[in-house]
Amino acid sequence: MSETGATAILKEEVDIVIPTIRNLEFLEKWRAFFEPYHLIIVQDGDPSKVIKVPEGFDYELYNRNDINRILGPKAHCISFKDSACRCFGFLLSKKKYIFTIDDDCFVAKDPSGKEINALEQHLKNLLTPSTPFFFNTLYDPFREGTDFVRGYPFSLREGVPTAASHGLWLNVPDYDAPTQLVKPLERNTRYVDAVMTIPKGTLFPMCGMNLAFNRELIGPAMYFGLMGEGQPIGRYDDMWAGWCMKVISDHLGLGVKTGLPYIWHSKASNPFVNLKKEYKGIYWQEELIPFFQSVSLPKECTTAQKCYVELSKQVRAKLGKVDEYFNKLADTMVTWIEAWEELNPSGPPKSDALPNGSAK
């Protein structure tokens, strides 16, 4: 699929969702790749602040006032002062595919010096099957120049639909605060030319700064939780979404890929600030991971929505005793699904779901 081919075929089927608190000059670096697409910008923090977007982009911009107006009493399920607010864009999108990226991420180059079209690679990943039931030692057999190796069962070569594509980062790696503190100058310079399916039953740490997914297949499971202001935890929004999404994808027979594409992550966040946000998560995850590893969803759960509501019940039953926060999170998981179903009815979209900052 060429760059122009991807643009011509899928530009009406993709939304790019960007959470931000600042002017979006970084879009200039992405103009060649993003300009044909529609952007949903979710402004965090002070809604009275004016966010500047470079001319020429097709975008909608939503701030906290818009979130409160559109969701009403359900608005509390969208985090404040945390990049988890991005999932509001997932709610409002009507496109099949979502690509979400942070505003400190820029175009990376491959070892030959060619700029990487991250969105195009994500779409390639999403448009080709995954192989979660049997590992292929040449990685993604659907990439050009490779195939299934000898001994790979023919009955499994058709693969399954791909729900999510998780990209990586050159320069500043996505480390937790303790690792940042002991390796403050470490930078990732390793470009690994590989895409692989994460096996069924295997969890992974999902980073939301370079991520794409099929909204129709798995969108309702991409809730980034309750983080930021008023919450006891931060920087686990994408982790929570990834763990929920992966167990639901496994249950529904969907695949998740990781590897290419790379973006250039430009700056490291403050490790001391991060530690304050993360410390409960670092402690809690030792119980969260066994919980997700043991999750079993009943066969009656045949959609991502049904799976997510069932998962919320198990969160309450098994994690509520870890901390009261998880009871509140279980409630908002249900609120999120209610909001999803309200904003994504079978009929035409609601006319009031339009931002004050729309631009065409």
The residue type of 194 is A
Separation CA 101–CA 174 (nearest Å): 14
> For 171-210, how does the pLDDT look when each residue is reduced to its tens digit (9 = 90+)?
999 999 999 999 999 999 999 999 999 999 999 999 999 9
Using a 10 angstrom Cβ sphere, with 0-12 exposed, 13-18 middle and 19 or more buried, the burial of residue 204 is middle
- Beta-carbon contacts of 146 under 8 Å, excluding residues fewer than 6 positions away, are 138, 139, 140
Tens digit of each residue's pLDDT (9 = 90 or more) over 284-297: 999 999 999 999 99
DSSP label of 355? -
What Cα–Cα distance (Å) separates residue 148 from each residue in 114, 143, 230? 28, 10, 49
Please identify which residue in the block is written with the tokens 């609601």: 350
Residue with tokens 């249950």: 251
Predicted TM-score (pTM) of this structure: 0.94
In this structure, what token pair is assigned to residue 104? Answer: 């400190």
- Tell me if the bond preceding 261 is cis, omega within 30° of 0: yes
Mean pLDDT by 10 residues, the chain (360 residues): 49 97 97 96 97 98 98 98 97 98 98 97 98 98 97 98 98 96 96 98 98 98 96 97 98 98 94 95 97 98 98 98 98 98 70 47
Measured N-to-C along each axis, helices 304-319 and 325-343 cross at an angle, to the nearest 10 degrees, of 170
Letter for the amino acid at 155?
A: S
* Token code pair at residue 224: 């980034």
| 19/216 Cα distance (integer angstroms) | 21
Tell me if 45 sits within 8 A of 24, measured CB to CB. no
Q: Could you tell me where the beta strands, DSSP code E, fall in the chain?
A: 14-20, 38-43, 58-62, 97-101, 105-106, 162-171, 195-197, 210-214, 255-265
